[in-house]
Homo-oligomer: A and B are copies of this chain.
Amino acid sequence: MNDIIKRQATASEEALWRIFTIPEAPDSTLSIIEQNLSQNLAGFLNESIVAVEKPLWQIERDFQAFQIPEQPSFVSDYTDTIMQKLVAHSVHTAAPSFIGHMTSALPYFVLPLSKMMVGLNQNLVKIETSKAFTPLERQVLGMMHHLVYGEKDGFYKKWMHSANHSLGAFCSGGTIANITALWIARNRLLKPDGDFKGIAKEGLFRAMQHYGYQGLAIVVSERGHYSLGKAADVLGIGRDMVVSVKTDANNKVDTAEMRRVLADLAERNIKVLAIVGVAGATETGNIDPLNELADLAEQQQCHFHVDAAWGGATLLSAKYRHLLAGIERADSVTIDAHKQMYVPMGAGMVVFKHPSTANVIEHHAEYILRKGSKDLGSQTLEGSRPGMAMLVHACLQVIGRQGYQILIDRSLEKARYFATLISHNIDFELITEPELCILTYRYVPAQVQKAMASASPEQLLRFNELLNGLTKFIQKRQREEGKSFVSRTRLTPARYQRQETIVFRVVLANPLTTEQILRDVLVEQDQLAQQDKEFYPKLLQLAAQQLHG
């Protein structure tokens, strides 16, 4: 019965003792929900999350209280409330038809393992609160290092568990990973030298005075992730010093243009802190020519970082890992396990080519992270953090490299299938081909496409404006109806004179997404387009004028 639970909802010492010692009764609301979750996660999510989207301002009505409630609540009452107000209006990120973002369905075994991780409540900052989790995390980083760099046995025997070295850093996500990499790059560049004790100790202002640079730059393609701007801000480099290099028709960085940019920076006495290669652009999935960037970084004698937060998992496919050739020349590489590695949210990593790379950010304290200890916290940006590495470890073992290869290969093939589907549909236009499992496209009625083919640049501009409005309308309406979801972004395709073009963006990493779902998405978008009373009719009218007027 609910007796135990009911008795917990009084602010008494005995009631509190109970919530720390007596588990939920098996027939309590929360226990029953948990059982549903365990027996059928997809079913639970389908039933608990409402399909039709409620506007945010309506959802917000349920989150207005700003005072911590004085009295305790019954766990069962609380559970009822959040099922209705929170879970029902959360996002079904695991839905096979939710193909707009990088979250996917999860393998079942991560759920009980997550619960075990929470129950163990380790703190990875130091050995004293994590013990075996420390070598486990180091092993996961070693495996990811081997995946990227493939060093020999002796290398890992020597460094993987070495107290004053690290093959990488585990963190909450790709943003922290990128910041960590660039922090290291900055501190290595502005290292101690003569009287100067190094930037870590003396700061950036003294460092610049000592080395005599006029500025520092991070050079990356225009497809670089927004976290690089954040890193430049945090690290004191300045967002304006993330120098954006334009991309070619395939959304890969234009290396000739990068050479010009580098020459220009050198002339202005601006030192390049790092060249960043994009390996799986967030918006289009494309991979920069990493070998050429490695050459440029060598010439510049600067740090070479590869942001493979999304694309790094492709290294698990023997068939497609060649797409990232040159990544093994990077000084540091970011990979998110919560993206294409099917680990729950909160598992980012950066790996370092050289085991002593992170020494420039090493720090110690008296009661913790003592010198010579193997405490992981001495070389990470975060302090206290959970044992998420266990979930990556589990996925690597249970899925195995060959299992991952199948997942990666199928995702890519599914994206190619969808691209073909779009290309063959007369009312759609493929904007970017999938190099990995990301592609972009838009809805352009056949007669509009025909009219655009012979339009003047000015007319094209007008067509594109209307198409942008239509794409926005379709994407928003589709999301609200809750059957399926694609995201949208803005690109500047060369074929449209780099005009801002709004496109649908699709990420096909969910193994449960079927070809039928993809066909249905196009049918739905076609229907939605015709519900638009603003841009759709104007487009048809403009096309008619152009073709017949």
Contacts and interface: CB of A to CB of B under 8 A. Distances in A.
Nearest to A37: B119
Given A16-B399, A112-B115, 8 more contacts: A16-B406, A22-B108, A73-B397, A128-B485, A128-B487, A183-B233, A203-B238, A346-B346
Contact of A131 (B39, B91, B113): B91
Given A11-B402, A112-B33, A173-B384, A138 B63 contact: yes
Given A20-B105, A39-B23, A367-B505, A394 B78 contact: yes
A238 B123 contact: no
A446 interface: no
A347 to B, nearest CB: 9
Interface in A250-277: none
Among A199, A345, A374, A401, residue most surrounded by chain B Cβ atoms (within 10 Å): A345
A234 B381 contact: yes
Given A366-B489, A398-B19, A143 B382 contact: no
Contacts of A494: none
A233 B200 contact: yes
A27 interface: no
Contact of A118 (B110, B336, B381, B383): B110
B384 A336 contact: yes
Interface stretch (A222-230, A422-430, A539-547): A222-230
A236 interface: yes
A297 interface: no
B143 A240 contact: no
B120 A87 contact: yes
Contacts of A453: none
Given A103-B121, A382-B173, A41 B23 contact: yes
A549 interface: no
A90 B123 contact: no
Contact of A112 (B15, B31, B316, B406): B31
